[in-house]
Each structure stands twice: as C-alpha cells, then as structure tokens.
Structure 1
Amino acid sequence: MALRNAVLAALLEGAASGYDLGKGFDASVANFWMATPQQLYKELERMAADGLIETREVQQERRPNKRLHSITEAGREALHTFIAAPSKPTAIRDEMMVKVQAMDADDAPVVRAEAAEHLEWSHAKLARYERLRNRLLDGRSEHAYLAEVERVGPYLTLLRGISFEQENQRWAEFVLSVIDRRATAEI
C-alpha cells in the first residue's frame, strides 16, 4: 500500500495541513500506517502534482502561513480504485522478532531490555488508542456509535490497532518471562 492511499483516507475527514496530518497519523492511523514527516511532505507534493489533492495557503497572524490540503475528485477516484483492488496478505517485518530468533544466552540481557522497552511503548500506544476510542464514542455505546456515524472505517481500524497492541504486550510479557526464567535456571 502506498503512503498516498493512507493520506487520501485521512483527508476524507476534511482539509488538513501537513502538520495536522502528521499528528493525525500519530493519533488515528498509526495503528496501521507509519510515516515520517519528511515522507509525508514529499508525498503531499507528489499528490498535488498528480491532481489527487488541492492545496491552498491560509494566512495566519503571528504564525507562518499554513498550507491546507483537501482531497479532489481524482483523489476520491484513486482511493476507490485502491479499495476495489485485491489486497495482499500482511507479512510481519519486525526487527525485534529477528533479534529474538537469533539470541543466545549472551544476547538475552540486551534482548530483554529491548523487549521491556517495546512493552512500555506498547502500553503508551494502547493508552493513546483507548483515549481516541473514548473520544470517538463520546459517551455512546459501541453499538450506537456504529449505527449513527457516517464512516465506520476509522473506528474499525482503531479496534485493529488496539488488538495489535494488546497482542504485542502479551508477546513481550511472555518473552520477558521466558528470558527471566532461563536466567534464574542458569544461576
């Protein structure tokens, strides 16, 4: 999947600056797509050149002017074309998995420290996702929310992100427990 499809999907929520899109990526689509600010700004330039988005400059007092991007009809068509195309199955590409796969007893302390760090990151991400979920629901039950909102996709992808982080936590906790048990058994 190209970054452009994730950006087009994010722009369905309305016009946004590159900065707002970056923050939005952290808050709403980080559960399924990551991009650095540099990647995002380069892609916005390409998308504007391709006619998928239009950009307008907004004058601001006491701040630099900002550029707001919005999806065009061509962008909507490109997104619909992407949606209609078959998806490829997801493959895991995770450096931590390679480290765990390759570790021996000498590497265990380093891998343990990294697994603990990953667990902390996962807890923080899950907390952000839960805050977003509560903000989306806004006091409604999930059933009521899904029946009332126009676009359910952002909520459904958020649930997948929550599930993904919960599994990351379970796995990291298991890795830590195995490393700890093996370290105690070897002493």
Structure 2
Amino acid sequence: MALRNAVMAALLEGEASGYDLAKVFDASVANFWMTTPQQLYRELDRMEAEGLLQARVVQQQRRPNKRMFSLTDAGFRALHEFTATPPRPGVIREEFLIQVQALDVGDVDAVQNAIGERIEWARAKIARYERLRDRLLDGRSEDDYLAQAERVGPYLTLMRGLSFEQENVRWGEKALAVLARRAARTEAR
C-alpha cells in the first residue's frame, strides 16, 4: 500500500514515465522510501488497472514507445484519503545494526569498516540532498520558499532526509570514536 501512495505523491509533480518515476525515486523519494524499478513498474500496472492512474503512449523515434502516467480523479481521492489517515509509527529494521549490536563477539574490524562506509554513504547523500535543496530554493531563502512555493511537501521530506543522514554521520563518528578508545585501552593492557 505504501508504494502506491509514494507513486501518487510523486505524480503530483506532473505526468511521468516509469523511467522518470524511477529517477525521482532514486533522487528525492529515496530519502524516505526505497523501491526497485521492477517493483515500481508492477505497481504502475496495478494502479492503472485499478483506475488510480491513466497512461498514454508516446511514440518515439529510435527508441521504444513509452507510457506517460498521471493521476486520475480516483487517484487524487485515494491520495487525499491516505493523507487523512494517521500513519503507523515508523520502525528501524536494519541488518547493519544487528551487526553493531553483536560486534563484541564478532569481527570488530569489519563492523568498524561498515560504520565508516555508512558515514561516507551518508555524506554522499547529504551532498546530493544539499544540491537538490539549492535547486529548489533557486536563490531564495528557506522562509521565502516555504511562503511562496506552490508545494512544500517535497521540501519538507527533503529536510527530513537531510537531517536523517546528518544524524547518521554524527552517530557513526561517535561509534568509531568509542571503538577506537576501547581498542586503545585493550592495547594498553
């Protein structure tokens, strides 16, 4: 159910092909919802069959034809109903954190390397999110943008993704510092 709502929310920006939606998911929606292109295309077909989306075929030269999707009235109603329903609380389910939980009896070096990789991954996402924020603001202050923009939802979710990744960096750096101090104490013995 959540993927379909994320698809409908992405289509609020306007008509898009499956390929365009996959890029949107990768570039902006990924800060709060992950999907594979295969899952996305299956969901688009289901949503079209259920009347939530309509598709039109665009003939292309030297490329396969593509389908452009847009929300139907039923899709807008479904999205409205979704926003009126209180969401379930979010939970973290991450295999990586199980490895961190068990590092005292596991391969500490491997877990430290994984934490370092997560920090670098988070920094890369922060840089990407900051470029997207700069594009959205287009020289305006955040206050001006939020007061004048037609839609603020994408900006608010971008800010949540940015703060999430910033916290991942803070946590990772602290975890590595803790592990380094513990290693130094062990070596001193």
How high is the TM-score relative to the length of structure 1? Answer: 0.96
Q: Secondary structure at the match of 1:55?
A: strand
Cα separation, 2, equivalents of 1:50 and 1:77: 13
Cα separation, 1, equivalents of 2:39 and 2:101: 31
User: What is the identity, as a one-letter code, of the residue corresponding to 1:182?
Assistant: R
Aligned 1:29-44 pairs, distance under 5 A: 29-44=29-44
Of 24-33 and 8-17, the range deviating more from structure 2: 24-33
Matched, 1:66 2:102: no
1:142-179 CA deviation, whole Å, 9 max, x = no partner? Answer: 11111111111000110000000000111111111112
**Counterpart residue number, 2:129:** 129
Cα separation, 1, equivalents of 2:42 and 2:105: 44
1:81-110 CA deviation, whole Å, 9 max, x = no partner? Answer: 100111111111121211111111542111
Matched, 1:100 2:100: yes
Percent of residue pairs bearing the same amino acid type: 65
User: What is the identity, as a one-letter code, of the residue corresponding to 1:33?
Assistant: W
Aligned 1:9-20 pairs, distance under 5 A: 9-20=9-20
Query: How many pairs were matched up?
Result: 187
Aligned 1:45-124 pairs, distance under 5 A: 45-104=45-104, 106-124=106-124
**Counterpart residue number, 2:144:** 144
RMSD: 1.1
Q: Secondary structure at the match of 1:93?
A: coil
User: What is the identity, as a one-letter code, of the residue corresponding to 1:12?
Assistant: L
Shift of 1:36: 0.7
Q: Which runs of 5+ in 1 are unaligned?
A: none
Q: Secondary structure at the match of 2:104?
A: coil
Runs of 4+ with >6 A deviation: none
Cα separation, 2, equivalents of 1:29 and 1:43: 16
Q: Which runs of 5+ in 2 are unaligned?
A: none
